[in-house]
Amino acid sequence: MHEISAPALLQLPTSGNLTDLIATRAVNEPARILFNRASGAGWEAVSATQFESEVRAIAKGLISAGVQPGDRVSIMSRTSFIWSLLDFSIWFAGAAVVPIYETSSAEQVDWILNDSGAVALFVESSEHLALANSVKPATLKNLWCIDSGDVAIVKNLGASVSDAAVAAARATLQLDSLATLIYTSGTTGKPKGCELTHANFFAEVQNVTEATADLFFRPDASTLLFIPLAHVFGRMIGVGSAYSGLTLAHCSDAVKDLPRDLASFKPRFLLTVPRVFEKVYNGAEARAEAGGKGDIFRKAAAVAVEYSEGISTGKISLGVKVKHAIFDKLVYSKIRAGLGGNVTHAISGGAPLGARLGHFYRGIGVTVLEGYGLTETTAGATLNTTRDIRVGSVGRPIPGTAIRIAEDGEVLIKGPIVFRGYWKNPEATKETFTEDGWFKSGDLGRLDDDGFLYIVGRKKEIIVTAAGKNVAPAVLEDRLRAHPLVSQCVVVGDAKPFIGALITIDQDALAVWASAQGKSGATLETLRTDPALVLAVQGAVDEANKAVSKAEAIRKFSILPVDLTIESGHLTPKMSIKRSVVVQDFAAEIEAIYSGE
């Protein structure tokens, strides 16, 4: 099979915009609990009418501050209730939202603010404030800090602004109006602004939520959002929760607070990236090993996988059922309790989970629905659903979307979820579409006979970490190669927990360096582990890391004993790196980078 499409479950509205989701809900279901706001160690319920009132107040403040319909307003903050509040407030003022990762470097913030022409920026902390002030472009008229109480100040600014003014600003937004500019990594290193419209989000959330209605529309539907709202996946869930009316809570610090928040909020389903599932599994195994029960855990894991595989084939033996029931009491129930106790499903995207982990989680009673998409497709283009799942795949096209496999294996996508283009970059926009209008994903895949998509490789060089972070290697590699000691550099980290690098040393520069260190005549083989050389290369890495966020930074590297050359087969005649060959030939070195993480 080379092409498949699915009819839309719902047609797009003929008019309106995303603000209607909140405004209509506040009128029709004013008491509906849309959010639980973190309050100390607990949660404070926020009704539809309360949320709409706060959104309207902030929108008035933005209008008073000079924000005009069509302007861009940026948010640089961790995931939080305030983020969601600002998101809708900016739309209520008729403007578009430009998210910035809270880990972004000064160089990245500078580029996004200048390229987008943002007129205002909300930052979370004093550190963010200092960073923003260091790069503040002339177009940025207002800079507000959430931790300093500036959201309340913005509300006060709008005290004299009328409801009619907000209504007029809202009315300027149409379905084809820009809703958000999400900057995504490009091979050139300069992030490109993906233009997503109100119609894009409607097409995505209507069909995703309706396709998984038993998750989004159940009476007690709730989820805890801890992935970044700067990521399109998080934004889609924010809009999807407003559309479906489920209760949404936020966790700002997943490393520190996620276990506590899961236990207290007890979500019905989760939305996350594979790295979280890997950590939960590895943590459970490590605790079992420490308690002398490692063998029991591994047997339980094997039974969970076997049980899930039996679900797929429709054949589960009595013996497996008995063992599964025993291990459910001993092992599985404890893992589910760690997720809050009520989670039965999770939607996963951003990187591949792997069939074994997929079967493990379904076997313990937490079915992971893998999906596939990009910023340019407003998040998911394909998705496994509760009623239609094939573990190991990324599902079928979401309703209203078509998937085609090109002759070279590239996944092509068409439908109303596909973005309209890159901000102020018509050349890049033209390059990313085929002549007949299909979006070129840059990923390689295959469709099985039933229309399930499997991602088998990456055509582009963009690295996607296990946490779903897109990383453009050229930014780091170009800067590293600028150091005199460095000959070549290959950034690695696809589906890995962090970014690493393979680095080769310039032989001529090494001879000079060795002489200066009183080590003349020493070979690369003996010097590549020399603390002084490692420290010198670390300095080059540190300098390169200044151009990227913490999540994109090189954490560990390996100095190779040989250089990468045309003769060795690692470079093309144009001196471009043959990444697949390098990764294959130096697999052991890459594995060493990630061992004992």
* List of residues 6+ apart from 393 with CB closer than 8 A: 370, 384, 448, 452, 453, 454
The 10 Å Cβ neighbour count of residue 14 is 6
> Quick one: three-class SS letters along 5-39?
ECCCCCCCCCCCCCHHHHHHHHHHCCCCEEEEEEE
Structure tokens at 306: 């076997």
* CA separation for the pair 496, 561 (Å, rounded): 23
Residue 574 is predicted with a pLDDT of 47
Q: Annotate 418-480 with DSSP letters as a single string.
A: S--EETT-HHHHHHTB-TTS-EEEEEEEEE-TTS-EEEEEESS--EE-TT--EE-HHHHHHHH
- Main-chain dihedrals φ then ψ at residue 107, nearest 5 degrees: -65, -40
Q: One digit per residue, pLDDT tens: the chain, 597 residues?
A: 799 999 999 999 999 999 999 999 999 999 999 999 999 878 999 999 999 999 999 999 999 999 999 999 999 999 999 999 999 999 999 999 999 999 888 999 999 999 999 999 999 999 999 999 999 999 999 999 999 999 999 999 999 999 999 999 999 999 999 999 999 864 445 889 999 999 999 999 999 999 999 999 999 999 999 999 999 999 999 999 999 999 999 999 987 899 999 999 999 999 998 878 888 887 888 788 778 898 999 999 999 999 999 999 999 999 999 999 999 999 999 999 999 999 999 999 877 787 888 999 999 999 999 999 999 999 999 999 999 999 999 999 999 999 999 998 899 999 999 999 999 999 999 999 999 999 999 988 999 999 999 987 667 677 889 988 888 787 788 788 878 788 899 999 999 999 999 999 988 888 888 888 888 888 898 898 999 999 999 999 999 999 889 999 999 999 999 999 878 889 864 467 888 889 999 999 999 999 865
pTM: 0.82
Contact 247, 215 (CB under 8 A): no
Instruction: Please give the pLDDT value at position 187.
Output: 41
- Structural domains in the chain plus CATH codes: 17-173+219-267 (3.40.50.12780), 274-416+425-460 (3.40.50.12780), 472-594 (3.30.300.30)
How far apart CA 11 and CA 206 sit, in angstroms, is 9
DSSP one-letter code for 378: T
DSSP class per residue in 549-597:
-GGGSEEEEEE-SS---TTTTSB-TT--B-HHHHHHHTHHHHHHHHTT-
Strand order in the sheet with 192-197: 142-145, 120-123, 72-76, 96-100, 178-184, 192-197, 421-422
- The two beta strands, 402-405 and 3-5, are antiparallel
